[in-house]
Amino acid sequence: DADVTQTPRNRITKTGKRIMLECSQTKGHDRMYWYRQDPGLGLRLIYYSFDVKDINKGEISDGYSVSRQAQAKFSLSLESAIPNQTALYFCATSDPRAGNQPQHFGDGTRLSIL
Partner 1 sequence: QKEVEQDPGPLSVPEGAIVSLNCTYSNSAFQYFMWYRQYSRKGPELLMYTYSSGNKEDGRFTAQVDKSSKYISLFIRDSQPSDSATYLCAMGLTGAGSYQLTFGKGTKLSVIP
β partners of residue 12: 112
Binding segment for partner 1 (CB under 8 A), chosen from 13-21, 62-70, 77-85, 105-113, is 105-113
Applying CB under 8 A, does 99 fall inside the site for partner 1?
yes
Q: How many residues bind partner 1 (CB under 8 A)?
A: 23
Q: What is residue 69's DSSP assignment?
A: E
Binders of partner 1 in range 36-95 (CB under 8 A): 40-45, 48, 50, 56, 59, 90, 92
Task: Label the pairing between strands 109-113 and 10-13.
Answer: parallel
| Pair 49, 23: CB distance under 8 Å | no
Q: Phi and psi (nearest 5°) for 37?
A: -125, 125
> What residue ranges bind partner 1 (CB under 8 A)?
4, 40-45, 48, 50, 56, 59, 90, 92, 99-108
